[in-house]
A and B are shown apart, each in its own frame.
Chain A
Amino acid sequence: MAALMTLRKLGSFPLTIPYVALRGISTTCTNAATVNKNRLHVRVGRFKPSKDKSIALTYDESKPPYKIGLEKAWNSWNTSNLKGETRMSETLTDDVFIQNFLKGTWGLMQASDVVIKRRHNMIHIFMHILPKRDLQPIYFLLGYSEELLSSLLKCPVKLELQSVQKPRDLIFKYI
């Protein structure tokens, strides 16, 4: 979140494809000789350090994609990518839709990436928010998101929010 904002400020072309890591994918080579090669030529999800260490990164943003499963977890938890399971593309599309919807509904109040967990027929969505002084709009947005997402995705949707007092609480690293 923070890194993407600064990229826009610098004027470089921001990739607007939301961060969606396909569940279960990892690089094959894990032996010591080739483990360093995992990071070669990876351009996605990495940020160029600034001269004055002004770019703030959250923990998720600071870890590169090849560390998913090691030091970092997925944003979407589902069974669609297991062998013999169906609805791979539908689940992925739904996840992208949920991320876009919440970005549009919550906007700048959203402080972190959205974590989507599917249990049975329910979708649990976890998010950090920066609350404002007035809590009534937040309750309204919470109910609105849950209702609309439930009716659009045709299954129970639970949105679980955690508030963060300052944006600085989520910053892990400055580069």
Chain B
Amino acid sequence: MAASCGRIFRVLNNISISQTSFNLSGRIRSSYSKRCTLQQINRTSPSLLVEGQRRCMTTLQADDKNIPHEHPQKDIQGGDQEVLKLEIDTTEDEDIPDVLYSHLCIEVKGHDIAVLDSYEKFVQLASKCLGLTGYSVKRPKYDVLRRSLLRSVHIFKKHYVQYEQRTYYRVFNFTRTTGSTADTFLEYIQRNLPEGVAMKVTKHRLEALPDHLKPPKQKESISDS
């Protein structure tokens, strides 16, 4: 009875270990993929993901050395190889090359300068957290629209009251970002845009020189000389 119970326990233990390894690998994969959407400078390669999984598996194996393996089909070694062979879903990302922006310009305007000040702080913090470089902010002078109305209901043409509408501006500039970084950052910024604040985004994209404008290759002339 006790022996059979022990066997069941070991079986369950092996199952649980393999399950946890699967979960860990799932988590590793998700964390890698998240990092890659933000900064796809180092593209996800299957070798990187597998390395992470292998590291986690080695730590698990160190704990399980005391448990004897009675059931060869529940072998952890086999489980390890199974985990490594799991499909890694990065082929879609690798096919499309990431876009590069030399310059990202975000113009923000609003009626209230205090709101724009706090939004400026928010944008600065967000850009620091996401690792964007080349942050600079400009504060152009506000634009005013003034209209004069008669102050009194009846007569007193000499006395007016003036009403105005002010538009304050902020301009944020970022240099040298990738497309996925810019997309993530802009989505975050725009989701948290306050009501009453308008935004205009200008992206300067880097393109390869077209074939008809590229200088002709001068290999033969170099080899001759």
Binding site for B on A (CB under 8 A): 23-29, 37-38, 40-41, 43, 69, 77-79, 81-85, 117-120, 124
Task: Tell me if A82 and B167 are in contact (CB < 8 A).
Answer: yes
Task: Tell me if B163 and A82 are in contact (CB < 8 A).
Answer: no
Residues from chain B with a CB closer than 8 A to the CB of A69 are: 112
Cα separation A26 to B112 with both chains bound (whole Å)? 11
Query: Per a CB cutoff under 8 Å, which of B109, B143, B163 touches A28?
Result: B163
B196: nearest chain-A partner, CB-CB:
A77
Task: Tell me if A28 and B146 are in contact (CB < 8 A).
Answer: yes
Give chain B's interface residue range (CB within 8 Å of chain A): 20 to 34
Task: Tell me if B198 and A119 are in contact (CB < 8 A).
Answer: no
Task: Tell me if B195 and A25 are in contact (CB < 8 A).
Answer: no
Residues from chain A with a CB closer than 8 A to the CB of B164 are: 25-28
Task: Tell me if B109 and A25 are in contact (CB < 8 A).
Answer: no
Convert B105-137 into 0s and 1s, putting 1 for each residue whose CB lies closer than 8 angstroms to a CB of A. 000011110000000000000000000000000
- Where chain A touches its partner, the secondary structure class is loop
- Where chain B touches its partner, the secondary structure class is strand
Task: Tell me if B153 and A82 are in contact (CB < 8 A).
Answer: no
- A27-B161, A27-B162, A28-B146 as given contacts; A40 in contact with B151, CB under 8 Å: yes
Query: Per a CB cutoff under 8 Å, which of B161, B163, B193, B196 touches A78?
Result: B196
- A77 to B: closest C-beta gap in Å: 4
Task: Tell me if B162 and A29 are in contact (CB < 8 A).
Answer: yes
Task: Tell me if B109 and A82 are in contact (CB < 8 A).
Answer: yes
- A26-B164, A117-B195, A119-B195 as given contacts; A83 in contact with B146, CB under 8 Å: no
- A27-B163, A40-B151 as given contacts; A83 in contact with B109, CB under 8 Å: yes
Convert B170-200 into 0s and 1s, putting 1 for each residue whose CB lies closer than 8 angstroms to a CB of A. 0000000000000000000010010111100
- B194 to A: closest C-beta gap in Å: 8
Task: Tell me if A85 and B198 are in contact (CB < 8 A).
Answer: yes
Residues from chain B with a CB closer than 8 A to the CB of A27 are: 161-164
Task: Tell me if A83 and B143 are in contact (CB < 8 A).
Answer: yes
A-B contact pairs, 25 of them (CB 8 A): A23-B196, A24-B111, A24-B165, A24-B166, A25-B163, A25-B165, A26-B165, A28-B146, A28-B163, A37-B161, A38-B161, A40-B151, A40-B161, A41-B151, A41-B153, A69-B112, A78-B196, A79-B196, A79-B198, A81-B111, A81-B165, A82-B109, A85-B198, A120-B190, A120-B193
Task: Tell me if B198 and A82 are in contact (CB < 8 A).
Answer: yes
Task: Tell me if A23 and B111 are in contact (CB < 8 A).
Answer: yes
Cα separation A43 to B152 with both chains bound (whole Å)? 10
- B43 to A: closest C-beta gap in Å: 32
